[in-house]
């Protein structure tokens, strides 16, 4: 269980005995950029992707952090993703806006989509955009934070791609059939920033499972089942034919099915990882920003002041925990699993990327 109010660098789903090493932020950024550049990514995309991954680790979202360069490198090697492409803004025959990721990494595609949909929402009150042909899009909360900072309510829903990504068993089943079908909702909040709800409809994002295998870590109970449907904490059980469970049982499953209908049936079959729908609404249609913040703070302060239950340090507001983590960790080294960092260094060395780094462990 991740304790609310975690005060360390890493609020992780990995087992507490996972060995870690401290890595200077600039070293991690330089090596991540070097790996992506060696695989053929344009320089500006290597910068954007590396910064996004670093920000995820600083935000306490290790599942979407620096370890992902290992995954991305493998995708480029296999041809699953294309390195030397850029996302394109397009309109279909019916006038609907979409971002074509051209089979590349999804982080710059999601950036392009969020900028476009927010600009149009501020102009017309409400806007929508779809994303197709994109690879992994990183931490969704980062894009919702941007939109909320512009005064917009934003909803992001992803799904589809189940032919390539059979990760999650439907509720009551034991076979992996669906992807993790994430949702993200961002809205301007109170005095401490926006409220950001960012979650997979599975019991854990796939990044926790894949990352745990690299790190040699166990996962909490209630995340995985093995091929026979028995509970497991070993990530290898998933790779041996098991499945990730849905979050909240039938409720997570219902949200996942809705995401499949939106992203796969409405938008069409996903060609790379997932399809995405992003909606933005200008909150100024209903409330002046100062009044919205005032009303939001009334709600949120009451939640924060709730006495914590046993096993918890405090009650946090979604989105504020990540923002607090970034502030707290800004001048600290990253705390990465030793095995994971070792794999990153080996990959960088094989690619001719300079790896001399001030590490402490």
Q: With H, G, I as helix, E, B as strand and everything else as coil, classify residue 193.
A: strand
C-alpha pair distances (Å), 226 with each of 164, 239, 245: 19, 9, 10
| Fold that domain 20-360 belongs to in CATH | Ribosomal Protein S8; Chain: A, domain 1 (3.30.1370)
CA angle 337, 338, 339 (to 5 degrees): 95
Q: Which residues 6+ apart lie within 8 Å of 47 measured at CB?
A: 33
The β-bridge relationship of strands 224-225 and 243-244 is: antiparallel
**Residue 288 to residue 28: CA distance in whole angstroms:** 41
Question: Count of CB atoms within 10 A of residue 92's CB?
Answer: 9
What's the confidence (pLDDT) of residue 4? 36
Q: Which residues 6+ apart lie within 8 Å of 22 measured at CB?
A: 333, 334, 335, 359, 360, 361
Give rounded-to-5 percent helix, strand, coil for the chain: 40, 20, 40
**Residue 263 to residue 181: CA distance in whole angstroms:** 9
What's the confidence (pLDDT) of residue 207? 85
What's the pTM? Answer: 0.92
What's the confidence (pLDDT) of residue 10? 52
What's the confidence (pLDDT) of residue 357? 54
Nearest to 151 by CA among 109, 189, 111: 189
Question: Count of CB atoms within 10 A of residue 216's CB?
Answer: 16
**Residue 234 to residue 42: CA distance in whole angstroms:** 37
Q: What is the pLDDT along the chain (361 residues), one digit of tens a residue?
A: 233 344 444 568 888 888 999 999 999 999 999 999 999 999 999 999 999 999 999 999 999 999 999 999 999 999 999 999 999 999 999 999 999 999 999 999 999 999 999 999 999 999 999 999 999 999 999 999 999 999 999 999 999 888 888 999 999 999 999 999 999 999 999 999 999 999 999 999 888 898 899 999 999 999 999 999 999 999 999 999 999 999 999 999 999 999 999 999 999 999 988 999 999 999 999 999 999 999 999 999 999 999 999 999 999 999 999 999 999 998 899 999 999 999 999 999 999 999 875 444 4
- Pull the structure tokens for residue 306: 């709730």
């Amino acid at each position: 269980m991740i304790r609310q109010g975690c005060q360390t660098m890493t609020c992780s789903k990995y087992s507490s005995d996972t060995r870690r090493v401290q890595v200077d932020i600039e070293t991690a950024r330089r090596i991540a950029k070097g790996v992506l550049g060696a695989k053929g990514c344009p320089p500006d995309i290597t910068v954007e992707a590396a910064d996004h991954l670093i920000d995820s680790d600083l935000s306490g979202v290790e599942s979407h952090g620096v370890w992902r360069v290992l995954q991305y490198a493998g995708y480029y090697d296999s041809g699953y993703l294309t390195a030397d492409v850029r996302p394109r803004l397009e309109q279909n025959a019916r006038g609907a806006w979409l971002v074509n990721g051209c089979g590349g990494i999804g982080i710059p595609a999601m950036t392009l989509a969020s900028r476009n949909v927010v600009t149009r929402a501020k102009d017309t009150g409400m806007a929508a955009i779809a994303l197709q042909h994109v690879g992994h899009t990183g931490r969704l909360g980062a894009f919702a934070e941007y939109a909320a900072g512009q005064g917009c309510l934003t909803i992001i829903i992803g799904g589809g791609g189940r032919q390539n990504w059979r990760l999650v068993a439907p509720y009551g089943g034991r076979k992996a059939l669906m992807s993790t079908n994430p949702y993200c909702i961002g809205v301007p909040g109170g005095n401490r920033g926006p409220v950001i709800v960012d979650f997979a409809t599975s019991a854990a994002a796939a990044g926790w499972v894949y990352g745990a295998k690299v790190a040699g870590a166990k996962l909490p109970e209630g995340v995985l089942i093995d091929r026979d449907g028995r509970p497991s904490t070993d990530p290898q059980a998933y790779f041996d034919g098991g499945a990730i469970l849905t979050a909240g049982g039938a409720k997570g499953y219902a949200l996942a099915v809705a995401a499949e209908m939106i992203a796969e049936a409405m938008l069409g079959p996903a060609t790379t990882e997932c399809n995405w729908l992003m909606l933005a609404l200008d909150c100024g249609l209903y409330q002046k920003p100062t009044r919205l913040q005032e009303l939001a703070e009334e709600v949120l302060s009451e939640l924060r002041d709730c006495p914590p239950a046993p096993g918890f340090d405090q009650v946090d507001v979604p989105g504020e925990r990540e923002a607090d983590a970034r502030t707290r960790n800004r001048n600290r080294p990253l705390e990465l699993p030793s095995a994971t960092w070792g794999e990153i260094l080996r990959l960088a060395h094989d690619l001719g990327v300079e790896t001399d780094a001030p590490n402490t462990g």
